[in-house]
Every structure is written in C-alpha cells, then in structure tokens.
Structure 1
C-alpha cells in the first residue's frame, strides 16, 4: 500500500498548475518534518497536550495530501481516549512520515501528468 493516496495526489496535480502542486508538496514536507520533531519533543517532555496538538496538526496536513496511513496514526495519537503509548505512536508517526516524505519527494520531482 502506498503512503500517499494516488487519487488525492492525482486530483491535486490535475487541479493545480504544476508549480503550485510542487509548492504544496514542498510545504507539506517542511510542515511534516517540523511537526514530527515537535511530537517527539512533547513525548520526551511528557507534554501530552502538546503531543496531541502536534498529532492534530499532522493529521490535518496528512489528509490534505492524501497521506492516509500517517493521518490514521496521527488521529490515534490525538485522541485523548486512546491508551496507546505515546512513544510507540511517535515511532509509528516517524515511520509513516518517512514513507510519506519519500513519496512526496518523488511526486514533486515527477508530478502526475508531467512529461
């Protein structure tokens, strides 16, 4: 299973000029890196409110570009009713973020429909 939903990415690529599509992907890459670091910092500090805020932001950003697996893990992390260990979820977020970033980088280099 792909880290990025090809339907979402394909629709973005179809709806936007190539430069805008690439800019959105690059912005997401930057945001994802920043938010993943923030999530890790909050876990290390035992800051559950900050951890959930970072997870919420990650879920929203992931949804916007079709990073469905990352979005799913981030939604679990942001849910205060869940009992999963934040360290374990942060590791899953890093893994899914890494996969999503690799695919986003490839998409930015070769957007759907580019020659």
Structure 2
C-alpha cells in the first residue's frame, strides 16, 4: 500500500501522536492501559481522546464487564490512514524515506 504523505495538525500534538502510535498496531486499548503508558492524568487523556474522536481518527467504546464500565479506544480506518500519512510526511520532512532508516 502506498501512503501519500500528509501533515495532520490534529495528530501532530505530541500526546495525540503518542496515542496514535500506541493504537496503530493493536485492535483497541483500554483507557487505563493508555494512561499508564503515557503517564498522564485521566482528564488530560480524556481531552486528547475526545479531540481525536471528534476528528474521526478514533472511536471510544464503553462496555460493562464484571459490573464495571471499561472504556477503550481504537483507531478508525480513516484515523489509521491519517496516522500513516502523517508519519510518512514526518519522514519526508526529515529526509528519512520509507526504505531508509533513521540514520540515513
């Protein structure tokens, strides 16, 4: 699959870029797991997830398990495409093409 590089200002914010990087290789991830990886407060994570959700990049799912509400996040197909394009654009900007490593 060929990805056309495209900068996405919604994804580019450092925490949102990290969220996308964590979600990209998985089907979904629980809120608590995301929070643990990112070492941020619930309110900060919620705000960034909402921004990504509003842009259509992720979907938030709430499910009840053992009488507890579990919140998880997953990338949408559009979000995955936007993330891939954003990463490709960052590589283009810094001069590291898809077949070159970070050290050239």
Same fold, judged at TM 0.5 (above):
no
**Higher fraction of strand:** 2
- TM-score, scaled relative to structure 1: 0.33
Q: TM-score, normalised by structure 2?
A: 0.36
